[in-house]
Amino acid sequence: MKIRRVQMMVFLIVLASISAAKAQNVGVGTQNPINGNLVIKSSGLVSGLVVGDSTAGVSFGENNSPYIGFNTYFRGGRKLMQNGFGGYMNFNHVTGTLFFGSAAVTGLQGALPVLTSRLSINKDGDMGIGVNDALAGLHLKNKAILIDNASGFADIIMDPAYNSHGGGMELQNNAGIRTIVLRAADGTGQSGELVFYNPDDNTSTLELDGDYSNSGRSRIIVDELQIKGGSDFAEYFDVAATKNITPQAGMLVSIDANNAGKLRISESQYDRQVVGVISGANGIKTGMMMGQKGSIANGEYPVAITGRVYVRADASTAAILPGDLLTTSNLHGHAMKAICNKKSRGSIIGKAMTALEKGKTGMVLVILSLQ
């Protein structure tokens, strides 16, 4: 007995040595497992490997492209192991795209419908959610984006069908109340809008509408407007040159009686047809401009009609001091101190804020107020 045991042990040692020296690949479903140490080959649409039982599990197979099924298996078609949801990961070796799909189905081992692709990543690293062929780094189809804060409230919501007229984005405060809404359209076939809300009563505080009431016109509604880039209110006019003098910023302009809606450079004292000053002189820019394109109420030059603006001034006859009323002079486009009260009526452009010595010409800062 002892001799037989020793012989058996020697035989096992020799056998182990031979197996270690000549390790063989193992094949299941194939007699030629040349592509790996363990090769499991399926037949037709049968899963190559199932980990689990009939109630749930993970299946591995080829099905023309490598796939991993969750709660599913192949047998003449993709089927479910248990009631609920089935899913899969599939790599398309032709397009280089990795897919993840899922679907719900009732009935034990019932045939799954065509699984909807929930997520895909293509060979360029573009990710598609709800779409198989991503066209950008992140491509969403019929999906919203929700970003919430530590309190669980949504800070940002981006929805492709925000208000049934087009996509939109909503920003909320830390209490989950909307404060800003951006819509691609505020009605069918209309333009977009941006609305700011008061979170206390949900009333709008600022509206920028690209096409309000389907009028084809834009509109801004605001409680208070602060302008930081200019200090005068101007309207657009066409201004004709006078005696080959080109219109320039700071020049006084008057009504052109021969051309409706247009202006000319002033050229006489106490001109009651004076309208205002071409805006933009001495670095002081227009604060607000008005005009209507395609109509008589438009033009090339912004003409200030109120506010603070620099004016070209002529002090050849009298010095200009702060507080002096100014009118037009004989020097084209220039202002002068109004001396004759009778002639001044209707020709005053405003009040000087800076001085200009007698005998000189230069810029004077004026508060415009036509009188």
Q: What is the pTM of this model?
A: 0.64
Residue 89's pLDDT is 84
What average pLDDT does range 238-249 have in this prediction?
Answer: 90
CA of residue 59 relative to chain centroid, distance: 44
5-58 pLDDT, tens digit per residue, is 545 554 444 444 434 334 567 777 676 766 666 666 666 556 667 776 666 677
- Rounded distance between C-alpha atoms, residue 355 and residue 326, angstroms: 12
Q: Find all residues with CB under 8 Å of 153, minimum gap 6, and list them.
A: 172, 173, 174, 175, 176
Identify the burial level of 347 via C-beta atoms within 10 angstroms of its C-beta, where 0-12 means exposed, 13-18 middle and 19 or more buried: buried
213 vs 197: which has the higher pLDDT: 197
Look up residue 174 and give its amino acid. N
What pLDDT is recorded for position 21? 38
Q: What is the pLDDT of residue 22?
A: 42
% residues pLDDT > 90 (the chain): 35
d(CA 328, CA 325): 11
For residue 25, what pLDDT is reported?
A: 76
List the domain boundaries for the chain. Answer: 38-140, 145-222, 232-368
pLDDT above 60: residue 262: yes
Cα distance between residue 310 and residue 335, in whole Å: 11
247: closest CA among 194, 193, 301, 296? Answer: 301
Token readout for 11 is 């035989």
Most confidently modeled range among 158-172, 204-218, 289-303: 289-303
Are the C-beta atoms of 33 and 26 separated by less than 8 Å? Answer: yes
- Among 63-67, 128-132, 141-145, 352-356, which is the least confidently predicted range? 63-67
Specify whether the backbone of 250 is left (phi greater than 0), alpha (psi in -120 to 50) or beta: left
* pLDDT, average across residues 352-371: 95
Q: What is the pLDDT of residue 141?
A: 83
* Six-digit token string for 78: 């993709």
* pLDDT value for 159: 76
Average pLDDT over residues 322-342: 95
pLDDT at 315 > cutoff 80: yes
Q: Terminus-to-terminus CA distance in the chain, angstroms?
A: 135
Q: How confident is the model at residue 110 (pLDDT cuts 50, 70, 90)?
A: low
pLDDT at 10: 47
Judge whether residue 74 has pLDDT over 80: no
Euclidean distance between CA atoms 282 and 305, whole angstroms: 17
The full length of the chain comes to 371
232-368 CATH: 2.40.300.10
Q: What are the residues whose beta carbons fall under 8 Å from the beta carbon of 116, sequence distance 6 or more?
A: 101, 102, 103
**pLDDT of 155:** 77
Is residue 255 within 8 A of residue 313, CB to CB? The reply is no
Instruction: Compute the C-alpha angle 233/236/237, nearest 5°.
Output: 130
Across all residues in the chain, what is the average pLDDT?
82
Phi-psi region of 316 (alpha: psi -120 to 50; beta: other; left: phi over 0): alpha
The confidence score (pLDDT) of residue 15 equals: 44
